[in-house]
């Protein structure tokens, strides 16, 4: 087990993986077995969950003449308008069944304010609705934060950047093969942004190898 470490499992939900007509991330299903293997090795394990009301204004369907993936503004902030996804109480909003929830200690829901989108696991995009994740991590004495899940170019990216900003004393890592982007171009941009922010990019094999070496000492 990695001492003083947390694994943040970002939005591993049916709506991003397997639910027809929602917002499937290409190859998103591939992150599930990797996260399954990683979870037992962390003393702190938290999942986030998009939990949108049906009238969420980030949905293209709420703006006549707007198509999914069109860009505009919402509440004065830049916005990509999405297909309806992860609506409260639907199968799409559920965590993927391949994710063993017995390992997860806390599930934090986000995206409930219809006026603003919510990429980060720490707060919505407007900063109006913090989830309390930073306080949870601080209370558990976390000094290393590892992130995995969906999607790299949005919710993983902004969660990692917020972790770096809100917990500057902690080391922040993104497990690159345990995440996937919505789009390859914005995925590459996200990796550059994360690296420039001082966030380390690691493959899961390196994380697991480090655990094995620590056990052997």
Dist. CA 7–CA 146, nearest whole Å: 5
pTM, two decimals, is 0.96
Per-residue confidence band for 209, with pLDDT thresholds at 50, 70 and 90 = confident
Predicted confidence (pLDDT) per residue in 89-103, tens digit? 999 999 999 999 999
Catalytic residues: 11, 110, 155
Q: Scanning the structure block, which residue is given the tokens 């094995």?
A: 212
7 Cβ contact list (under 8 Å, min separation 6): 35, 38, 39, 41, 42, 44, 45, 46, 146, 147, 148
8 Å CB contact between 25 and 61: no
The pLDDT of 110-131, averaged and rounded, is 97
pLDDT at 2 over 90: no
In Å, the largest CA–CA distance within the chain is: 62
Residue 65 CB contacts under 8 Å (≥ 6 apart), including other chains = none
Strand order in the sheet with 171-180: 106-110, 44-50, 5-10, 144-150, 171-180, 200-202
Residue 217 clears pLDDT 70, i.e. is over it: no
**What average pLDDT does this structure show over 146-162?**
98
pLDDT above 70 coverage of the chain, percent = 98
Is the pLDDT score of 216 beyond 80? no
Average pLDDT of every residue of the chain: 96
Between residues 208 and 164, which one has the greater pLDDT?
Answer: 164
In this predicted model, what pLDDT tens digit does every residue of 34-64 receive, in sequence order? 999 999 999 999 999 999 999 999 999 999 9
Q: Which residues contact 93 (CB under 8 A, 6 or more apart)?
A: 13, 14, 15, 49, 50, 51, 52, 86, 87
Instruction: Determine the Cα–Cα distance for residues 96 and 186; give it in Å rounded to an integer.
Output: 24
β-bridge mates for residue 147, sequence order:
8, 174
């Amino acid at each position: 087990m990695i001492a003083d470490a947390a694994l943040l499992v970002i939005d591993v939900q049916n709506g991003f993986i397997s639910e027809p007509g929602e917002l499937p991330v290409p190859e998103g299903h591939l992150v599930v077995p990797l996260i399954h293997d990683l979870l037992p090795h962390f003393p702190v394990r938290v999942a986030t969950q998009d939990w949108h009301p049906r009238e969420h204004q980030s949905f293209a369907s709420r703006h006549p003449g707007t198509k999914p993936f069109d860009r505009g503004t919402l509440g004065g902030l830049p916005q990509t308008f999405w297909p309806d996804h992860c609506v409260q109480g639907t199968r799409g909003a559920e965590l993927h069944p391949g994710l063993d929830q017995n390992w997860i200690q806390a599930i934090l829901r986000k995206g409930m304010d219809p006026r603003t989108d919510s990429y980060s696991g720490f707060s919505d995009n407007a900063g109006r609705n913090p989830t309390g994740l930073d306080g949870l991590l601080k209370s558990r004495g976390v000094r290393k934060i590892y992130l995995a899940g969906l999607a790299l170019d949005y919710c993983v990216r902004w969660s990692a950047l917020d972790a770096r900003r809100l917990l500057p004393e902690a080391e922040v890592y993104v497990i690159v093969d345990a995440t996937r982007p919505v789009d390859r171009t914005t995925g590459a941009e996200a990796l550059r942004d994360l690296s420039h922010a001082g966030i380390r990019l690691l493959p899961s094999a390196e994380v697991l190898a480090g655990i094995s070496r620590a056990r052997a000492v």
